[in-house]
Amino acid sequence: MKQVLRNARMLAGDEFRDDLALVIEHGRISEVLPDAAPGLGTAGEQIDLGGGWLLPGFIDVQVNGGGGALFNNTPDVATLRTIAAAHRRFGTTALLPTLISDDVQVMRAAIAATHDAITQAVPGIIGIHLEGPYIAPARKGTHDASKFRVPDADEVALAASLDNGVTLLTLAPERVPLETIRALVERGVIVAAGHTAASYEEVRAGLEAGIRGFTHLYNAMSPLQGREPGAVGAALEDRDSWIGIIVDGVHVHPGSLRVALAAKPRGRLLLVTDAMPPVGADDPSYELYGEIITAVDGVVRNAAGSLAGSALDMATAVRNTVKLLGQPLAEAARMASTYPAQFLNLDDRLGHIAEGHQADLVLLDDDLRVRGTWIAGQYEAA
């Protein structure tokens, strides 16, 4: 049925407009037109949005878990349904379930589960993020170093085997031969640098080989120093790459994130959560690599004191971007939707409120809390 969404402050292009209406047909946005357009009032089901903020649905490229489930622990379709449903309550309408470093059989199961979830049209699942295992022991964070390895030809083929969705692979460029990075890119994998002890020169070589972005900037990577720019310096200097940032006030100081905003061209920073099972769950505890980890005051650390993902959701990340980083809501919304879509080469159908795009939307109230979402035109209250 045709739906007409009206009476919202809609992010249309670069600004919010309160004089537009949006028409949804067959899961897509068929028209964005003036609210006073003749005949609009009888064009279909009329939905009054009560003056709320209407944004493109959030796209999270780094989601380890949610709703009490962790992808590594049970890599199947049921887990993906649970994770996607938990994050949808916080405005995420598309995500990459993220598998941190693990054995090859777990990788194979995770890729197969993602393929099946997309085939079954599980709402919100658009691909997979393989975060490791081709990363650096010196910057392992909470990853299990016993899982780390250098990919051979068979693993390159496995990593690139998802044929119905996006594959994002985080690796350490100093640990993976440049020809392997090129082979992954040629097979359609989006490669990001992360969990890396690489020098500036090694990162630059990786960028030239096809690395497209950086995973959770500042965390688990060689820092920017006066005589050694490291991975952080290479990321901030490069004009073309994207960087994911975790805006929870814990992973990175807001001042450091404001430096990144000043250094990179507009459109190259995207919000990620790095979320773990406590998001959307009542239980703050979960098991990772056989260890019980508990979120305390929203902070997730393992027994060694390393940050073990986060308890952040995308709606909170957007609010924090406004409050902690001083960004206008329109820009924070683009960092949660438009820029991730561009990073994933999906901005021809996601990340915008525009005619022809999939009707993935999020409605916020005046406190920037989620009232409801649409995925392919199907509404669900938060």
Binding residues for Zn(2+): 131, 195, 216
Cis amide leading into 177 (omega within 30): no
Alpha-carbon distance of 140 to 220, in angstroms, equals 7
Residue 32: its pLDDT value, please?
A: 96
Alpha-carbon distance of 285 to 270, in angstroms, equals 27
For the chain, what is the HEC assignment? CCEEEECCEEEECCEEECCEEEEEECCEEEEEEECCCCCHHHCCEEEECCCCEEEECEEEEEECEECCEECCCCCCHHHHHHHHHHHHCCCEEEEEEEEECCCHHHHHHHHHHHHHHHHCCCCCECEEEEECCCCCHHHCCCCCHHHCCCCCHHHHHHHCCCCCCEEEEEECCCCCCHHHHHHHHHCCCEEEECCECCCHHHHHHHHHHCCCEECCCCCCECCCCCCCCHHHHHHHHCCCCEEEECCCCCCCCHHHHHHHHHHCCCCCEEECCCECCCCCCCCCEEEECCEEEEEECCEEECCCCCECCECCCHHHHHHHHHHCCCCCHHHHHHHHCHHHHHHCCCCCCCCCCCCCCECCEEEECCCCCEEEEEECCEEEEC
Handedness of CA 153, 159, 163, 168 (dihedral sign): negative
> Please, what is the angle between helix 178-186 and helix 200-209, to 10°?
30
Place of tokens 């598998």: 99
What residues contact 38, with CB distance under 8 A and at least 6 apart? none
Q: Which amino acid appears at position 66 of this protein?
A: G
Residues in a beta bridge with 291: 288
Taking residue 97's Cβ as centre, other Cβ atoms within 10 Å add up to 30
Residue 40: its pLDDT value, please?
A: 86
221-to-145, 195, 206, 259 alpha-carbon distances in Å: 15, 5, 14, 17
Handedness of CA 135, 138, 143, 148 (dihedral sign): positive
363-to-91, 298, 355 alpha-carbon distances in Å: 8, 24, 18
Residues noted as catalytic: 274
Q: Are 40 and 4 in contact (CB under 8 A)?
A: yes
Q: Are 56 and 333 in contact (CB under 8 A)?
A: yes
Binding residues: 131, 142, 195, 216, 219-220, 227, 251, 307-309
Handedness of CA 361, 188, 107, 105 (dihedral sign): positive
Binding residues for substrate: 142, 219-220, 227, 251, 307-309
**pLDDT tens-digit profile, the chain (382 residues):** 899 999 999 999 889 999 999 999 999 999 999 998 988 888 889 999 999 999 999 999 999 999 999 999 999 999 999 999 999 999 999 999 999 999 999 999 999 999 999 999 999 999 999 999 999 999 999 999 999 999 999 999 999 999 999 999 999 999 999 999 999 999 999 999 999 999 999 999 999 999 999 999 999 999 999 999 999 999 999 999 999 999 999 999 999 999 999 999 999 999 999 999 999 999 999 999 999 999 988 899 888 888 889 999 999 999 999 999 999 999 999 999 999 999 999 999 999 999 999 999 999 999 999 999 999 999 999 9
Q: Are 317 and 362 in contact (CB under 8 A)?
A: no
Q: Which domains does the chain have, with CATH numbers?
A: 3-55+353-381 (2.30.40.10), 57-343 (3.20.20.140)
Q: 255, 240, 251, 244: which is closest to 210 by C-alpha?
A: 240
